[in-house]
Amino acid sequence: MVTNSYIFNANLLIDVQQMFQYQFMQHAFEAGTAVAIIAGIVGYFVVLRRSAFASHALSHIGFAGAAGAVLLGINPIFGLLTFTCGGGVGMAVLGPRAVNRDVQIGTVLAFMLGLGVLFISLYTGYATEAYSILFGEILGISSSDVLITVTASLIILAAVGIMYRPLLFASLDEDVAEAKGLSMPLLGIIFMLLVAVAVSIAVQVVGVLLIFSLMVTPAAMARRLAKQPRNAMIISVLISLMATWSSLFIAFYEPYPVSFFITSMVFVSYLFVRYIYPSRICLECREKFSSLSLAKHLQKTHPNI
Amino acid sequence: MNTVDKMITDAVQQEIVRAENLAAGYPGKTVWQGANFSFVRGEFVAIIGPNGAGKTLLMRLLLGLQQPVKGTIKLFNSQPKRGNPKIGYVPQRHLIDNDTNIECIELVRLAFSGTRWGFGLSSKSERKTAFEALEAVGAAELAYQPLSALSGGELQRIFLAEALVSNPEILLLDEPLSNLDIRRAKELVQLVNKVVRLRNVTALLVAHDINPLLPFLDKVVYIANGKAATGKPKDVLTSESLTALYGVNIEVMRDSRGNVAIIGIEDHHGDE
């Protein structure tokens, strides 16, 4: 797609008006916004549960599904959803610890990529299909894909809204949550399904290989910036949104891929948050202070015991 | 123990836990058997024994996460079942690490309302309840600190607050002292003792070493070599009673400060 023929104007309002005259840009912003919100929220749970690699693997499993769908002549998003959901439930059923098994996950991941390559080679059409699944093609998104994306996003939002507290509790303190009666296998499956659907729609924006940039990195930054899960999720969403919106805006004028701009922006912000933003407090002084105050507390509240 | 608390404990001799001829283990493997004990309200009980002796198994039985191999165990006069709100639980394993940049009060709050559906927008009252639990363990000033920045001793206090937040009648504390130095361990035991006396709850505390606990205990369960001995520390922890129970020569030695060393039970390392 040739996008370098638009002239950038100093008046941003005019730029935005001009941009939104094009339907493909409208679609890109609609789907991009939905994906950024969902990736920001689900990503927080992914980071909290240390399932970053599992979510990365799910996107690769999705690649085989998308390639298979292309081969069969159906919409790739359905192949993506089928494979990621199947893979997600599979991982969850194998047990919570399966989600953290790097070697096994990596093995399955490589096999699925290989399978995808086979499907693509069997498909005699364009190699660009493979390219857009691997690296994302948000500017070519159709209105029916936008509809699917928005619907899936609303379902995820509703699910997270309903299960927010149990999901957070199980992610933070599994053993106590289990003792309190929450079902870990069930929550594990639900969580992996959420990740599967989020990954499937995010693939349209950044592609299978760059999924980390929306699903993991913004949430990892947000976790450093906020101590309350709710605030961290809001920040995570904002980072994803800013990266997606500004990248779409730049890509409208520059002939380079949107995915490149998104990944770069996320990467630069990550470097900033990781190395420049001061995050650690003085542990030593605090420790002294608080153990002193425990002794005082015991002395004060119950001198006899 | 002061007199008022003693009167309360004596007045309400309500039985909280009772085990009869209890055997625990996994399918095809019994870890210990023939245990008989009962704990009443307001008792501070230590469960001690070597690694792999099956101390955590007792916790799992009470939590309803596992069924007895033989015999019966009753909690509040009925069979233990999962999700009992009368239990406050501090597990041995925790998922908190240097990356868990979440404020303490949030964890305590989740222990209070984490099993409820919905986003919990009206979290103000929940946070107030959580803050009160933190105050009760002397950790009010840690409430808004991130979990990742806490020392081992501070974390154990947060976990205790997490267990207390639902106002339980029995506390199950699995190895809370294992990563603490002697001073921090003593402080935590004092804190647990305070909670037991003030709130008149029963506490079962799993530990390797009984010595920091001895001044405060009402009962001890000594689990080793497939058997469990129960009673007052001064009755159970004697050379005669342990030798009689295990059938091998066991010596209990005491130093001038009253510290106890149990000699003659081999540390058998099984899977717990």
Query: Using one digit for the tens of pLDDT, what is the confidence trace for A230-289?
Result: 999 999 999 999 999 999 999 999 889 999 999 999 999 999 998 877 644 444 444 444
Chain A within 8 Å of B186 (Cβ-Cβ)? no
The residue ranking higher by pLDDT, A121 or B175, is: B175
Residue B90 near residue B155, CB atoms below 8 Å: no
- The answer to whether the CB atoms of A227 and B101 lie below 8 A apart is yes
Q: What angle do CA B18, B208, B190 make, to 5 degrees?
A: 80
Please, which residues have CB within 8 angstroms of residue A156's CB and are 6 or more apart in sequence?
A38, A41, A42, A194, A197, A198
Query: Using one digit for the tens of pLDDT, what is the confidence trace for B229-272?
Result: 899 988 888 888 888 777 788 888 888 887 888 887 654 433 33
Class of domain B3-86+168-263: alpha beta
Dihedral in degrees, nearest 10, Cα atoms B55, B61, B64, B68? 150
Query: Using one digit for the tens of pLDDT, what is the confidence trace for A165-189?
Result: 999 999 999 999 999 999 999 999 9
Q: What integer pLDDT is reported at residue A5 of this predicted model?
A: 63
Q: Distance between CA atoms of A275 and B268, rounded to whole angstroms? A: 48
The candidate with the shortest Cα–Cα distance to A44, out of A177, A227, A249, is: A227
Chain A within 8 Å of B8 (Cβ-Cβ)? no
Helical axes A229-253 vs A258-271, angle rounded to 10°: 140
- All residue ranges of chain B with pLDDT < 70 are 1-12, 122, 265-272
The candidate with the shortest Cα–Cα distance to B223, out of B267, B260, B188, is: B267
- The answer to whether the CB atoms of B89 and A175 lie below 8 A apart is yes
Q: Distance between CA atoms of A215 and A198, rounded to whole angstroms? A: 8
Q: What integer pLDDT is reported at residue A259 of this predicted model?
A: 93
Q: Which two tokens stand for residue A46?
A: 């992914």
Chain B within 8 Å of A305 (Cβ-Cβ)? yes
CATH 3.40.50.300 in chain B: give the residue spans.
3-86+168-263
Q: What integer pLDDT is reported at residue A99 of this predicted model?
A: 62
Chain B within 8 Å of A300 (Cβ-Cβ)? no
Nearest to B151 among A177, A280, A287 (CB): A287
Nearest to A176 among B2, B91, B144 (CB): B91
Residue B75 near residue B202, CB atoms below 8 Å: no
Is the entire prediction scored with pTM above 0.95?
Answer: no
Q: What integer pLDDT is reported at residue A83 of this predicted model?
A: 96
Q: How close does chain B come to A176, measured CA to CA in Å?
A: 6
Query: CA–CA distance from B141 to each of A293, B107, B111, B254 (Å)?
Result: 9, 15, 19, 39
- The answer to whether the CB atoms of A294 and B138 lie below 8 A apart is yes
Q: How close does chain A come to B141, measured CA to CA in Å?
A: 8
Kindly tell me if the per-residue pLDDT of A13 is higher than 80: yes
Chain B within 8 Å of A281 (Cβ-Cβ)? yes
Domains in chain A (CATH in brackets) are 12-301 (1.10.3470.10)
Q: What integer pLDDT is reported at residue B13 of this predicted model?
A: 73
Q: What integer pLDDT is reported at residue B238 of this predicted model?
A: 86
All residues of chain A having their beta carbon less than 8 Å from the beta carbon of residue B101 are 223-224, 226-227, 279
